[in-house]
Amino acid sequence: MNLDFSDDQKALQAQVRRFLAEKCPPAVPRAVAEGAAPYDRDLYRGLAELGVLGLAIPEAYGGMGLSHLELCLAAEELGRALAPAPVSSSIYLVAEALLQAGSDRQKAAWLPRLAAGEAVGAFALVEGPGRAAPGKVRATVEGGRLTGTKWPVADGDSADIAVVAARAGAAGPLSLYLVDLTGAGVAREALTTIDPTRSHARLVFDGAAAEPLGEAGSGWEIAEQVLDRAAVLMAFEQLGGADRALEMARDYALERMAFGRPIGSFQAIKHMLADMYVSAALARSNGYYGAWALATGAAELPVAAATARVSATQAFQHCARNNIQVHGGMGFTWAFDCHLFYRRANALALALGSQSSWEDKLIARMSRANTVAA
């Protein structure tokens, strides 16, 4: 089984890296972190013009019609650059939900806008702290009107459209709904999180217009499928962040002098860097497997997605944390960029559900797979 990428795909990745090096230097996420805006709109439009947002969206709906392999490689570069843009919410989640469950009319209405960067999407599943679960969904839709509260919702403060999990009536089946957040009956409250380069909000719905997305009663099943697909894409963002944190630590270890020698010559630093490399390499191998399963629609996708998610989360957090340690006292300062990677690592660790929830998913899915195989 060949899990590597083609030369054309690697060339596309190199093009995205060059674009981000020019349009998203460290000053860009730093400006957003310091409160300039919820996200960098010029960067988001530039990604759309480059075709990044529409890589895996069919040409019939304004995209480039390529595969999720290309999108995985683009996601890796977005992670390396700490791109402060709502790509994960809009493309990994909302666009995927539309592709998986949307009607032709819904796809035609929203996918071209998402691919062109003219609209921002949000995926509103949870209703407060704790693990997402069907029994915790209290939002309801009656007569095509949505009532309830969702939080935290990534990019909810700037989104134009949301995919919302709600029940048809107080005790009805759980379904997904499309909600135009620019319409009446929607109130937003920006939330403060560990990573200000990824905005979050509380969305309060009071009679907002909502239209069904997918079959009635299949909301949780569709949401799980979307989360699995997004987990692979986000794993590549985490891979990019982990690799960049490792590079930062390595470069600093080579130039920082102590006792007349680079600190990278000391065994303690060597071991720390080696451990970072091993965790990133392990995550990459699992990420490649997840990318293959996603692109081919393999039956292994649920297991591959959970594996990629768990290992990439571990790697990014490990590398971001140790990057600070290698930098020593300077690593804890606002002036250095180490904290930006640490913040992003911890934010992404919770973006699709906690690490422990994905570990539990992995165990359950592997157990089922082994039972079927037996």
Q: Check if the beta carbon of residue 226 is closer than 8 Å to that of residue 100.
A: yes
Find all residues with CB under 8 Å of 231, minimum gap 6, and list them: 290, 305, 306, 308, 309, 352, 358
153 pLDDT band, cuts 50/70/90, is: very high
For the chain, residues classed under CATH 2.40.110.10 are 121-217
What mean pLDDT comes out for the span 57-69? Answer: 97
Q: What is the pLDDT of residues 271-291, one digit of tens each?
A: 999 999 999 999 999 999 999
- Output b/e per residue, 315-345; b: 16+ Cβ within 10 A: bbbbbbbbbbebbeeebeeeebbbbbbbbbb
For 7-91+106-115, which CATH superfamily applies?
Acyl-CoA dehydrogenase/oxidase, N-terminal domain (1.10.540.10)
CA distance linking residue 305 with residue 112, whole number of Å:
27
Q: Is 52 helix (H, G, I), strand (E, B) or coil?
A: coil
Dihedral in degrees, nearest 10, Cα atoms 49, 52, 53, 56: 130
CA distance linking residue 285 with residue 283, whole number of Å:
6
133 pLDDT band, cuts 50/70/90, is: very high
For the chain, residues classed under CATH 1.10.540.10 are 7-91+106-115
Q: Check if the beta carbon of residue 286 is closer than 8 Å to that of residue 307.
A: yes
Q: Which fold has domain 220-373?
A: Butyryl-CoA Dehydrogenase, subunit A; domain 3 (1.20.140)
Q: Is the pLDDT of residue 2 over 90?
A: no
Q: Is the pLDDT of residue 337 over 80?
A: yes
171 pLDDT band, cuts 50/70/90, is: confident
Mean pLDDT of the chain: 96
What mean pLDDT comes out for the span 300-326? Answer: 98
For the chain, residues classed under CATH 1.20.140.10 are 220-373
Q: Check if the beta carbon of residue 69 is closer than 8 Å to that of residue 291.
A: yes
* Residue owning tokens 């969206």: 57
CATH architecture of the region 121-217: Beta Barrel (2.40)
Calculate the CA 151 to chain-centre distance: 17
Positive or negative, the Cα torsion across 351, 353, 358, 364? negative
